[in-house]
Amino acid sequence: MDAGKLKSFLFSALYAAFIFGGRHLMNKRAKFELRKPLVLWSLTLAVFSIFGALRTGAYMVYILMTKGLKQSVCDQGFYIGPVSKFWAYAFVLSKAPELGDTIFIILRKQKLIFLHWYHHITVLLYSWYSYKDMVAGGGWFMTMNYGVHAVMYSYYALRAAGFRVSRKFAMFITLSQITQMMMGCVINYLVFNWMQHDNDQCYSHFLNIFWSSLMYLSYLVLFCHFFFEAYIGKMKKTTKAE
């Protein structure tokens, strides 16, 4: 196992230890406000994600329009292009500092759901484990994630700054995440199908596709459940109360 893959497991283990240890320590302590640091944190990640979405999105649109869907999925140039390679590498590295989201949740004594920490750990492990293999589908996965995070962290920054944001915005973000997971499943299917016919042109391997598919399917189920509980369920309760 190379150093990068080993570090991903180390970061994940430390992250899990912090979750359980941090929640235990905060049980008998007053919550921290941390509004200003949270604004800065969310705004920084929002700007980073916006630039990442624009730069990788421009590349993916170009490949899609000039060479078609198959090449956009199978393309390995995303990992080595003069611009996209920087944002691909930055994407992988960003999965470590993004774990910091959970620090704010624990220190502010907010509800920490399974989806949150499970998503952080598995994305970190998968991204760091797959990056050097330059597997097919990576351009789509990274660009979609950048796009969703650009909107999500912008929303977090506005909320932390005290702006009143419509609940429909939060619903839109969750629906975007659900769409991302559905697209992830589709991309994995296409990679699996095209890989079998020409692995040199659409490189991946079964183990990578298996874990990626399992990951996206689990996210899809969890985000759908979250959407129902957070929005549909509450709407039904409000209607009954009225």
Which amino acid appears at position 99 of this protein? L
8 Å CB contact between 212 and 184: yes
Which of 119, 120, 149, 225 is the catalytic position? 119
Q: Which contiguous run of DSSP H or E holds residue 214?
A: helix 206-227
Which pair of structure tokens corresponds to residue 66?
């000039």
119 catalytic, yes or no?
Answer: yes
d(CA 206, CA 184): 16
d(CA 238, CA 162): 25
Residue in this structure with the two tokens 């709407």, named with its chain if needed:
235
- 206 vs 71, 191, 194, 199, 220, CA distance in Å? 19, 10, 12, 11, 21
SS3 185: helix
- 65 vs 13, 20, 70, 98, CA distance in Å? 42, 47, 11, 32
8 Å CB contact between 52 and 91: yes
Catalytic site positions: 119
